[in-house]
Chain A
Amino acid sequence: MYDSSFWPKGVTRGHPVLFVFWLLICGAILQFTGIGAFLCLWKGLNQTGMNDYYAFGLWIVIDLAVIALGAGAFFTSFLSYIVRIKELKNIVGVAVLIGFICYTGAIMMLGIDIGQPIRGWFGFWHANIHSMLTEVMFCITTYAIVLIIELLPAVLENRQIAKVPEFGTFAHNLHRIMIVFAGTGTFLSFFHQGSLGGMFGVLFARPFAFREGFMIWPWTFFLFILSAIATGPSFTTLCVMITEKVTGRKLVPHKTKMLMGKISGLLLTAYMVLKLADTYYWAKVMVPGVGSSLDVMYQAPYGTWLLWAELGVCGVLPAIMLLVPRVRQSYGLLFLAMLLNCTGIVLNRFVFTIQSLAIPVLPFEKFIAFMPTWQEIAVGSLILGYGFLVYSLAYRYLPIFPKEVELSQD
């Protein structure tokens, strides 16, 4: 058919008309994003729902969430190329793709989020090395470069592009040296996932977010890393499962999905143990230590239901589920457990961003809730439109599912 010579070898893809229709939907989302972005750049950030109480809004929540969800890229690469777990070769390609989408999408959104986007490079040129945000900026941009390099072989191995000997050979050589990039990526990711947590943990004047720690790193540094690597594999697998259902094709062996689930389960359990301990200490010692109480920290609409949702329904529950082999064997239960897992991390990022800022510290300051404007939601939908677009193009044209041919013959 029309573009079938561009499809990966040995597989079929949907009708081009359907695909173009889908691309148009992605385009429409991106147009919506474009309008919001244009307004924010032209008229200023007053177009959003942010204010002097909510210096961070929807975009930072989305940025934190997608970077955590995109951690599947570095961790799956680490396990696949460095620890050499062979099973994961079946899913590392799509994990890197998802990571690429998450990181580049987050960087684009940050370009709108800062008040002076043209001055964004000041964070590099006039770097304050003591700031966690500096660490984040440096590591995220460097890791985005690593992700582009890691994704490059898949792009160059498109059936038509690979016919050019230079590209095919380059992709082949990149594959052989990928361990270096996986290692560098792991190192960089460890630090920026942690620094994103560190950003909030160092705010000693914000009792909701502040944590003691180890040397310069607050406990949130380690908790954010752990939660990211616990959720990253789940998100990658979720995306694959959704793709499989939508396209009606088997892309990744269930055994691989189960392994991702097991990895998620083990890490999530470890995370929950530490997180519960940390939350307990915070609630019992740190909060009263600054003269506050849990009622103040969790007030409507950000009430204690958030705590139970984040730690219980979307924390302990999926951790237990993912450790049970029977759950992992069931497509539906595995999907549910991973969905709860990913929801939990989104809640965690939301809580640290929005709820930290909601709690007034001065007794005579007021509590206000946050509500994003449509322009803010429009820019936030970048990650959806851009993500769907890139993912769909990659699914259709790039050989990112090594076992698809084998599975389609079953």
Chain B
Amino acid sequence: MFPFSFEWHWDIGHLVFFGVFYAALTVIGITLVATIFKTGKDIASGHAHVEHDDEHDAHAEAAEA
């Protein structure tokens, strides 16, 4: 799984397989962390997206987006 693992060889198979895997994990991780940070920033700056009990619900907004 990692370069220091017993079965690891620096061959094209390992490079492609784990390269793609870690790339996918990185993309997911970075996006998730960035979204968390953005949320923190939004809350701090007062631009929180709050659910109101009238027309303006997050769901309708998602449908429009």
Chain A residues with CB under 8 Å of chain B are: 8-9, 89-90, 124-130, 135, 138, 142, 145-146, 149, 153, 157, 159, 162-163, 165-166, 168-177, 180-181, 184, 187-188, 399, 402-403
Task: With A159-B51, A169-B42, A173-B38 as known contacts, state yes or no: A9 contacts B59, CB within 8 Å.
Answer: yes
Complex Cα gap A135–B14 (Å):
12
Q: A130-B13, A145-B28, A146-B28 are in contact. Are A173 and B58 (CB under 8 A)?
A: no
Interface set of B (CB-CB < 8 Å, partner A): 1, 5-7, 13-14, 17-18, 21, 24-25, 27-28, 31-32, 34-36, 38-39, 42-43, 47-51, 53, 57-63, 65
A157 and B21 form a contact (CB under 8 A): no
Residues of A within 8 A of B42 (CB): 169, 173
Q: Is the CB of B49 within 8 A of A168?
A: yes
Q: Contacts A8-B59, A142-B25, A187-B24 given: A168-B31 contact, CB under 8 Å?
A: no
Q: How far is the CA of A170 from the CA of B33 in the complex (A)?
A: 11
Query: With a CB–CB cut-off of 8 A, which chain A residues contact B49?
Result: 165, 168-169, 171-173
A142-B25, A168-B48 known; A125+B35 contact, CB < 8 A? no
**Contacting pair B65 A166 (CB below 8 A):** no
**Contacts known (A129-B17, A176-B65, A177-B31); A184 close to B39, Cβ less than 8 A:** no
User: Could you tell me if B27 and A184 are in contact, using CB atoms closer than 8 angstroms?
Assistant: yes
Task: State whether B51 touches A163 (Cβ < 8 A).
Answer: yes
Interface of B, helix, strand, loop or mixed by DSSP = helix
B14 surroundings in chain A (CB, below 8 A): 129
- For A146, the chain B residues whose CB sits under 8 A away are 28
A313 to B61, CA, bound (A): 43
CB-CB < 8 A to B27: which residues of A?
180, 184
Is there contact, CB below 8 Å, between A165 and B48? Answer: yes
Q: Which of A170, A188, A402 contacts B62 (CB 8 A)?
A: A402
CA–CA, A129 to B59, complex, Å?
A: 42
Closest residue on chain B to residue A191 by CB atoms: B20
CB <8 Å contact, B35 and A173: yes
Inside 8 A of B43's CB, which chain A residues have their CB? 165-166, 169
Cα of A195 to Cα of B5 in the assembled complex, Å: 24
Q: Are A162 and B28 in contact, with the CB atoms below 8 A?
A: no
Q: How far is the CB of A129 from chain B (nearest CB, A)?
A: 4
